[in-house]
Structure 1
Amino acid sequence: MLKKDNLIRGTLILTVAALTARVLGLFQRVPLDYMLGSQGMIAFTIANQVYMVLLIIATAGFPSAVSKMVSERYALGQPAEAKRIFHAALAFGAITGVILSATLFIVAPTWAKIADLPSAYLAIRAIAPALLLFPIIAMMRGYFQGRQLMSAGGISQIVEQFMRVLLGLGLGLIVLDLGWGDDWAAAAVTFGSVFGSIGAFGVMIWFGRKLKRQDQMEQVKVKPRFNAEASAALMMSSSSSKSVRNSTVNQGSKTKFRKIYREILAMSLPALLTSMTVNLIYLFDTSFFKRLTSGFYTAEMSDIVQADYGIKAISLAGIPPILAIALGSTIIPVISSAFSVNNMKEVQKQASLVMRIVCFTGVPVALLLAIASYSVTGLLFVSPSGSDVVALLTIGTIVQITMMTTNSILYGMSRSKTSMYHTATGLLLKVVISVATAPFIGIYGLILGSTICFIVITMLNVRTINQIVTLRVLGKRWVPYLSAVAIAGLAGWLSERGVLLWTTNLPNKVSYFISASVTAAVVGALYVALLFVFKVITADDLHSFPNKLRKPLEKIMRIFTGNQKMRSK
């Protein structure tokens, strides 16, 4: 029996899945630092960034649109219409997958020349076949998210990463053993994405069949299965609306695909730019790195810095936004359901909750990786070179997280066009600042442009959200919250410096491991403790967490606040 997931449970499922996927992705990139030379790593990075951008174009924001439309139809008691939308999305995914897979294979040599690394065309072509299935998989994930069944997408993501990483690395090692060189090895590793797409597709097919059987068993029920977050509001709808809902429960939808595509495209095309913001930034940086920084770096140093940026910095900077990605996928159908029935109180509650969760969880992870970047980079990779780049890129993910979350909130409020305009403004600033500064300060100019881009988009998004509903994130607790972050960060920085000095005589990897572990323990423990000591987290905040997580946090609160009587819920 497939069960629906509420906001917190759905977020936890997607967070665990995304964290597992990112760890596996990191596991793939770490061996590359040992397996390949600088140009091989650059080729792998370029191929992945080109692929990711084209994959988003292939789906054109369809997963989020499908999720939103499906959740609205089920909230209004129109399951047949929701399934018709799903079938239309699958057809679109199949067609665009074939077209873009062939296109990427053909243009691979041209893009490799643009990136000033002609040999990268092998890696780009090797990843092209993965586009055949991933658009279809994305549509299926969007449908399951709209049905609030997050486990389907989560499990498929984990299976995809396992097959992509393990089979890709295995194939790469075989190619290196045959003596074919770095260019073919990079192509072999990227071909792992094809294996991943096959595994993920198999998982989605299994969930699809199981959900189909479950729906058939429930067809005898006249009463539609409403979203939990919207059911209260729907009960207060007018009697005429009820009759419309009941009349559509058991009827098949005859809506033409053309009409469905118009509705989906109206929502998905504006969301396209916001969905691919980070990927566009990384594609811009990796493709034009040498051209923009040629006057700042020597040819040899340029290869080293670009390889560090693509393999080390981008992979580690992908860890802090994991929660925001999960929250974005979960919050869209929840806010959309409430917004569709004009339940603005629920919209305000969920939007404020998701921003509060981001502050409590996403910020310290980014802070920790930035502070301990030297130890973490040295521990995972061949050397700690590029740790300064890792630190700057990861600290910038704090505003990247808020940008992604506010984009999702606006999407759920049917303000995707507004979000698109904000994103376009931020990306324009990114390009201008990068072009103006990279020739003089190298990679730091590219990162500066990205950070300013995230900040501007976030500010514009928050302003728009507050015009619809007032976000109540922390209120008067901002000062103690920032104090807790600053104190924990300073303590972590001093801990890392001290441990590195204390372990100078130990082997490097041992020193890096001890330093990273101590820093994580200091930052984590002090951060959590200060949140309670400064009363940043309240009893009401804890009640929004799942029971298994709430109980230990309540015990911690009692320790630091002396409050022996906690309300239970």
Structure 2
Amino acid sequence: MSKKDSLIKGTIILTVAALVARFLGLFQRIPLVYLLGNEGMASYTIAFNLYSTLLIIATAGVPTALSKMISEKMAVGHYQDARKIYRASLWFAVIAGIVMAVMLYILAPFYAEDISRDPHAVLATQAIAPALLLFPLIAIMRGYFQGRQRMMPNGISQVVEQILRLVVGVLLAYLLLNVSLEWGIAGASLGGVAGGVAALAVMIYYTVKIREEDKEELPSIAVQRSDGSISYTKEAGLSDPGITLSYGSILRDLLSLSIPIVIFSMTVTLIYNIDSSTVIPFLTRFTDTPYQEAKELLGILGGQAQSLAGLPIVLAVALSQSIMPIISVAYSQGKMDVVANQTAKVLQLSIISGLPMVLLICTGSRPIDGFIFLFGGSEIGNQFAPSIIALMTASVMFQIIMQTSGAVLMGMGKMPELVQIVAIGIGTKMVSSIMLVKYLGIYGIIAGSALCFVIMSYLNLRVLHKEVKFRIMLKRRWVGLAFSTIIIVAVGMMLEIVTDTYLHLTPWVRFNYGLNAVIICGAVMALYPIMLVVTRVVTWNDVLSFPAPLQKLIHKAARILKRS
């Protein structure tokens, strides 16, 4: 298999696995919202977002750096150095995992009660702490396999992890609710630990398997025994005995590569954690919102909105991961025309591919949320959930631009600039949330996140323009895209009003919401490509420049349309 084919296959595997894992994560929230309600989901969100932030810190971006170092060593035949780097990374993961797990368990009461103002989140936070012992190891193993260009173990482990997280989390939540709501929330958190055990088992299986393959494939090494005889072994796999690495130098190289990566990579997770930590105290302190209502609003934000808003960005993340090595090679070789072309192409593709899902969720937020979550079963959910979901999903467009442009900057090695931009973005988030929550309530906190993504996107693009001259799209196409968006939003809103007012065909409320969602989403998805073609935002020449798998999909769709 050629390097190009390997890259495409690996990208497809990771993209499909990420999509499946994301949808499984969404499906987990459906029964949890039903079992725990919006208040219970608030406590679960506090625990899960804090855990997610500490997990990123615990792995410190090492998997990405490890993948790079392993691939470099394997490419030149330094197999033993690659194994030593892997072992050093595993020890780092063990120590970091222990430290973070103990820290999370001990600090859970202080964080939940004094910072997030939700005592019910204490047990849930402590319940998920053991997962921090497992996932740093899993992340390191995934980085190692990525460096070996073995993407299948990573994809399978992600899917298995989410399946066990869903099944065990929902089952324990259901069983422990008989004790109390607090124990039910803790049961949902324990699903993450079960998912970690399953994922680790998958990675250990593939680790044993790849070692057996290495014994068969790696070159034999001559070893002199104590009696003077010569034997041959494939265990070492060392092609250059003159190269040795100390554990200290390995860790220094790993951390120097990984720390800037983790600072940028944790931006979205950190913003979600800031929200889950501040929604209750901000709403109760700066507005007249009662405590119970503030807690329900946090449950809607974390249990429903964050899940749905995470869907449009999946393809953009996959594109970002695939473009980084291309940009890195072209930039290091001084091929600025290639950098400019690839930068414009990936930004254009991420915007065009992310926008339809954003429009779909925004215009259909009420029937979608009613069908999936039934608004959390409360009047507050019925009143606030659709607008919270729509506004949060709309802000994802700037998140897509921010993450895609940031990936290009990472490929160009602009880590110091990225770190500064992240600091500015987080500062903007905190200040704007405090200022806007006084006037807009929960919507002010969401607007603060959106403003953070806007500022970071602008700063990323400004740094990019200083390095290379590129244009995402012509002005005519921007106008066409804006016009298409306005038309689609107008049609979607009109259909939402009509279906919500008149279309109640059955006595089953959830079925009616599902039918309304299908009508609105179907209209948006059908109208989007038509409007792009009519306004010439996308031409046939653009299609020819898309990745091969996407071209095949478009060709098949075109043939079906011609036959119909």
**Contact residue 68 and residue 336 of structure 1 kept, 8 A:** no
In the aligned structure 2, how far is the partner of 1:534 from the partner of 1:249?
A: 58
**Contact residue 7 and residue 334 of structure 1 kept, 8 A:** no
| Paired residue type of 1:288 | T
In the aligned structure 1, how far is the partner of 2:493 from the partner of 2:112?
A: 40
**2:35 matched to which residue of 1?**
35
Which runs of structure 2 are paired with 1:371-410 in the superposition (5 Å)? Answer: 371-383=363-375, 384-385=382-383, 386-410=385-409
**1:238 matched to which residue of 2?**
none
- Residue 202 of structure 1 deviates from its aligned partner by 2.0
1:87 and 2:87 matched: yes
In the aligned structure 1, how far is the partner of 2:67 from the partner of 2:465?
A: 24
**1:48 matched to which residue of 2?**
48
Q: Secondary structure at the match of 1:118?
A: coil
Task: State the Cα RMSD in Å.
Answer: 2.9
| Paired residue type of 1:405 | T
**1:363 matched to which residue of 2?**
355
Residues 329/23 of structure 1: CA separation in 2 closer, same or farther (3 Å cut): same
**2:118 matched to which residue of 1?**
117
225, 229, 249: which one aligns with 1:259: 249
- Residue 51 of structure 1 deviates from its aligned partner by 0.3
- Residue 421 of structure 1 deviates from its aligned partner by 0.6
In the aligned structure 2, how far is the partner of 1:342 from the partner of 1:152?
A: 35
Q: Secondary structure at the match of 2:395?
A: helix
| Paired residue type of 1:361 | S
**Contact residue 37 and residue 182 of structure 1 kept, 8 A:** no
Q: Secondary structure at the match of 2:374?
A: coil
**1:524 matched to which residue of 2?**
525
**1:287 matched to which residue of 2?**
277
**Contact residue 72 and residue 336 of structure 1 kept, 8 A:** no
- Residue 368 of structure 1 deviates from its aligned partner by 1.1
TM-score by length of 2: 0.87
Q: Secondary structure at the match of 2:439?
A: helix
**Contact residue 43 and residue 299 of structure 2 kept, 8 A:** no
**Contact residue 351 and residue 400 of structure 2 kept, 8 A:** no
| Paired residue type of 1:379 | F
Deviations 1:420-472 (A, max 9, x none): 11011011011001111213321111111100100111111112223333344
**Contact residue 335 and residue 347 of structure 1 kept, 8 A:** yes
**Contact residue 327 and residue 412 of structure 2 kept, 8 A:** yes
**Contact residue 67 and residue 333 of structure 1 kept, 8 A:** no
Deviations 1:56-111 (A, max 9, x none): 01011212222333445556776654444333222211111111111111111111
Deviations 1:31-61 (A, max 9, x none): 1222114432211111101100000010112
| Paired residue type of 1:420 | V
**2:97 matched to which residue of 1?**
97
Which runs of structure 2 are paired with 1:164-563 in the superposition (5 Å)? Answer: 164-176=165-177, 179-220=178-219, 250-251=240-241, 253-294=243-284, 295-383=287-375, 384-385=382-383, 386-476=385-475, 477-504=477-504, 506=506, 507-545=508-546, 547=548, 549-554=550-555
**Contact residue 77 and residue 240 of structure 2 kept, 8 A:** no
Which runs of structure 2 are paired with 1:2-81 in the superposition (5 Å)? Answer: 8-73=8-73, 81=81
In the aligned structure 2, how far is the partner of 1:251 from the partner of 1:323?
A: 43
- Residue 281 of structure 1 deviates from its aligned partner by 1.2
In the aligned structure 1, how far is the partner of 2:444 from the partner of 2:519?
A: 32
**Contact residue 3 and residue 149 of structure 1 kept, 8 A:** no
Q: Which moved more, 1:344-353 or 1:268-277?
A: 344-353
In the aligned structure 2, how far is the partner of 1:147 from the partner of 1:344?
A: 29
Residues 105/347 of structure 1: CA separation in 2 closer, same or farther (3 Å cut): same
In the aligned structure 2, how far is the partner of 1:144 from the partner of 1:101?
A: 25
**Contact residue 63 and residue 139 of structure 2 kept, 8 A:** yes
**Contact residue 392 and residue 447 of structure 1 kept, 8 A:** yes
Deviations 1:495-520 (A, max 9, x none): 22222223145432222111111111
**1:145 matched to which residue of 2?**
146
Instruction: Give percent identity, aligned residues only.
Output: 40
| Paired residue type of 1:270 | P
In the aligned structure 2, how far is the partner of 1:151 from the partner of 1:350?
A: 27
In the aligned structure 2, how far is the partner of 1:40 from the partner of 1:24?
A: 20
Residues 52/457 of structure 1: CA separation in 2 closer, same or farther (3 Å cut): same
The number of residue pairs the alignment matches comes to 535
- Residue 333 of structure 1 deviates from its aligned partner by 3.7
Deviations 1:243-296 (A, max 9, x none): xxxxx9655741112122222222222222211111111111111212211123
